[in-house]
Amino acid sequence: MSAVLVPDASTAIAGSAWTNRFAHLGEAFHTQLAPQPLPDPYWVARSPACAALLGLPDDWWEDPAFQALRVFSGQAQWPDMAPLASVYSGHQFGVWAGQLGDGRAHWLGEVQTPAGPMEIQLKGSGRTPYSRMGDGRAVLRSSIREFLASEAMHALGIPTTRALCVVGSPLPVRRETMETAAVATRVSPSFIRFGHFEHFASRGQEPELRRLADFVIEHHFPACRDAAMPHAALLEAVAGRTAELIAGWQAVGFCHGVMNTDNMSILGLTIDYGPYGFLDGFDPGHICNHSDEQGRYAYARQPNVALWNLHALAQALLPLIGDTDAALAALECYRTRFAEALAARFAAKLGLATREDGDPALAEDLLRLMSAERTDFTIAFRRLSAFRTVPEAGNERVRDLFIDRPAFDAWAARYSARLRREGSVDAERALRMNRANPKYVLRNHLAEVAIRASQAGDHGETERLRQVLERPYDEQPEHEAYAAFPPDWAQTIEVSCSS
């Protein structure tokens, strides 16, 4: 067991006690064990925004009494932490994988914060009973990717787990090559996944299944308590949140890469950043995960995969719902909510203040043009923000992105007419569109540059990139290079499940 620090250290987090509600569910849900300490830890990255979420003081990471480096490297614990690894099961690439669980993560506990209870978890903190053949470690590369993606997605307004910090170590870890170890500290209202429910359902453990579902309702979906069928209401609520989440992904060109049921948050958060990627050239069939040989998790397939996963969750909850028709009815909201959310997001991306029946087709036709030429997704929509509706406007900045100029001109004429019909004012619309179309996203080559620098001992680029991504919708002229077209070598980056 790791050493415990002085009692007043724990008051650095919002000055409040740990509650650890998940730990009280019982032994069937987890195994209590301490993280395996990282040797010779050092700071790699920290998120001031996530620290503020937890109510941490500005100097939390360097206060000797706090000893944060030791705690977040697994060398020590604060009083009232309850380290554990949770068990779950799930479908991986559409195939039942059986028991899984936190194979390289340790849940440290739950603390009261100004934003409500937050769970804190170390990722890469050593083997657990659920590690299977894994070593329980994460590498610097994957930890930086998780850290940057978590905070970047939050800044984009996409529901996500957060990342407080990354701690590195010279400890060697073998993946495709020999790398060094790191631990990322993750923060979330809950780390419960679809797979937690699948685990108990698959084993016929209905009392534990009910306890878990009632726990989630009580603490995260209290509005479901008074429904005629609370567990069907829970399923419907999760389906709605998932629909909103996936619409957010599609609208910013985000590919998760490994949407297994054990990687789906019951709260509708983006969780488990691995082989993710943001689109460069627009390709609906883009596969960001080199391990995804069949393209199951390609960009355009994400909405249907999410629904497939929700059906797996419905199957797991069926013993509690007791009615197949009621379970299916609870899932119906997914299609409606997703379509509405996606339409609203793309209307915002096009700067439309009103709604017309032809708006979805207008957006789809632009995407079709972009797909034909692999037009850069982020740059195209950002430049579209400056579109002018006056007859003499050439709109060259966005027009020059397309080889087939007549095709773009035909679309632009329709778009301009649509904007004039609602009396759109160019300058006002540009401001709105620039809040819907980010200028800066975490492209793979940007992450790769930061990772390579950090592997060489320079963590400054990771921090600079974090700062840029913290304001994705702002112009930031001093950081224009981060919004440029990706270099040719970016096409050679391969990201797999080990990432």
Question: From the centroid of its chain, how far is CA 440?
Answer: 16
Which one from 59, 63, 135, 262 is the annotated catalytic residue?
262
Per the CB < 8 A criterion, the answer to whether 199 and 89 are in contact is: yes
Tell the residue number behind the tokens 């804190």, with chain if given.
Answer: 120
Question: From the centroid of its chain, how far is CA 285?
Answer: 20
What phi, psi does 242 have (nearest 5°)?
-65, -40
262 is catalytic: yes
d(CA 490, CA 452): 14
Distance (Å) of CA 418 to CA 346, 376, 381: 14, 24, 17
Please, what is the Cα angle at 186 between 55 and 18, to 5 degrees?
50
**493 DSSP 8-state letter:** -
Per the CB < 8 A criterion, the answer to whether 117 and 22 are in contact is: no
d(CA 288, CA 297): 8
**274 token code pair:** 């691995």
DSSP letter for each residue of 150-214? HHHHHHHT--B-EEEEEEEEEEEEESSSEEEEEEEEEEES---BHHHHHHHHHTT-HHHHHHHHH
Tell the residue number behind the tokens 């007043």, with chain if given.
Answer: 8
Distance (Å) of CA 274 to CA 178, 185, 212: 18, 15, 27
**96 DSSP 8-state letter:** E
Q: What share of the chain is helix, strand, coil (3-state, %, to 5)?
A: 45, 15, 40
d(CA 349, CA 363): 9
Q: Which residues are catalytic?
A: 262
